[in-house]
């Protein structure tokens, strides 16, 4: 989910220092997958192939070795390999040619999030990925003074708390904590947030979030966050807090999203006002 000032995208890659070992200057994909690594095997395979493309070992337009050979070199099944290769096709890194094999794309297509307010599910669908959610908490509690002030409601107002682990293709990307006044969406408890999107649930009730104020900070994951995200304690998180507004500029909900740093990229752009340049001469 992104705010108006920037764009981000979930990335399913390993930190360079944590990637399985590769052979330097290899003309083809030569490596061994680490079965003891917490990341799924197909993500490790996709990361390794992508890394060799980035390093120039696999040139644009080059054909990858046959699937059987890749499976032997990587030590994985064909099903796992094809999942990795299809992910790279979705990312614009590879092209598939039926009956001929897999080729390095001549021009990598970067699929970033736009500078718009977009739900996690909407982003996943646009990128050709499958979103899933594990609900950790879904209950109604009285709003605290701080929560009430942020949402412009009275303290003690019924507030729906929703906490989820957000996943892409079964890989945890973020922890998502949302608070919304029950008066905004009285039937929210009927939604099944293991499959339902908050944004689609709001849309069905005729409610549309049109903008969000966002703040971001980096910090280390504590033991609980690390457990849910399947990362090591102390690993970096990118924490985004948002306050969403409706068309009448009324606060709708707050959300705090804690992204696993190695699986998320934030991209933004800045423009220098013309007045600055003129005043400098």
Structural domains of the chain in order of their starting residue, each with its CATH number: 6-104 (1.10.10.10), 120-267 (3.40.1410.10)
pLDDT of 1: 39
Q: Phi and psi for 243 in degrees, rounded to 5? A: -120, 115
Say how far apart CA 91 and CA 112 lie, in whole Å: 10
Q: Which three-class secondary structure string do you get for 107-131?
A: CCCCCCCCCCCECHHHHHHHCCCCE
Per-residue pLDDT of the chain (281 residues; tens, 9 = 90+): 333 334 455 544 334 333 333 333 334 444 567 776 666 788 888 888 888 888 888 888 889 999 999 998 888 898 889 888 988 887 788 888 777 889 998 764 444 444 567 788 777 766 667 788 999 999 999 999 999 999 999 999 999 999 999 998 788 999 999 999 999 999 999 999 998 889 889 988 999 898 999 999 999 999 999 999 999 999 999 999 999 999 889 999 999 999 998 887 776 666 676 655 555 55
Count, residues in the chain: 281
pLDDT of 155: 96
pLDDT of 260: 92
pLDDT of 189: 94
pLDDT of 183: 95
Q: Note if the pTM is more than 0.75.
A: no
Contact present, 224 and 147 (Cβ < 8 Å): no
pLDDT of 191: 93
pLDDT of 244: 95
Residue 143 CB contacts under 8 Å (≥ 6 apart), including other chains: 151, 153, 154, 155, 156, 157, 158, 159, 179, 181
pLDDT of 232: 93
């Amino acid at each position: 989910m992104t705010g108006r000032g920037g764009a981000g995208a979930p990335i399913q890659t390993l930190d360079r220092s944590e990637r399985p070992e590769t052979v330097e200057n290899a003309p083809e994909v030569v490596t061994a997958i680490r079965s003891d690594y917490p990341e799924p095997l197909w993500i490790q395979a996709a990361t390794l192939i992508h890394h060799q493309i980035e390093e120039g070992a696999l040139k644009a337009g080059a054909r990858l070795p046959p699937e059987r050979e890749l499976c032997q070199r990587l030590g994985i099944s064909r099903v796992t390999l094809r999942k990795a290769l299809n992910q790279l096709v979705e990312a614009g890194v590879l092209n598939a040619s039926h009956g001929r094999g897999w080729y390095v794309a001549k021009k990598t297509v970067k699929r970033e999030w736009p500078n718009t307010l977009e739900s996690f599910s909407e982003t996943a669908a646009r990128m050709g990925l499958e979103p899933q959610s594990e609900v950790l908490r879904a209950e109604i509690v009285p709003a605290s003074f701080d929560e009430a002030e942020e949402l412009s409601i009275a303290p003690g107002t019924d507030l729906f708390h929703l906490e989820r682990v957000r996943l892409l293709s079964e890989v945890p990307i973020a922890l998502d904590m949302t608070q919304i006044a029950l008066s905004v969406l009285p039937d929210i408890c009927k939604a099944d947030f293991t499959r339902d999107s908050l944004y689609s649930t709001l849309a069905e009730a005729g409610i549309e979030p049109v903008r969000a104020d966002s703040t971001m900070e980096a910090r280390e994951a504590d033991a609980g966050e690390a457990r849910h995200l399947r990362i090591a304690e102390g690993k970096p998180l990118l924490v985004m807090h948002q306050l969403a507004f409706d068309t009448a500029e009324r606060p709708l909900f707050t959300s705090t999203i804690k992204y696993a740093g190695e699986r998320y990229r934030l991209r933004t752009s800045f423009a220098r006002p013309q007045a600055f340049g003129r005043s400098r001469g």
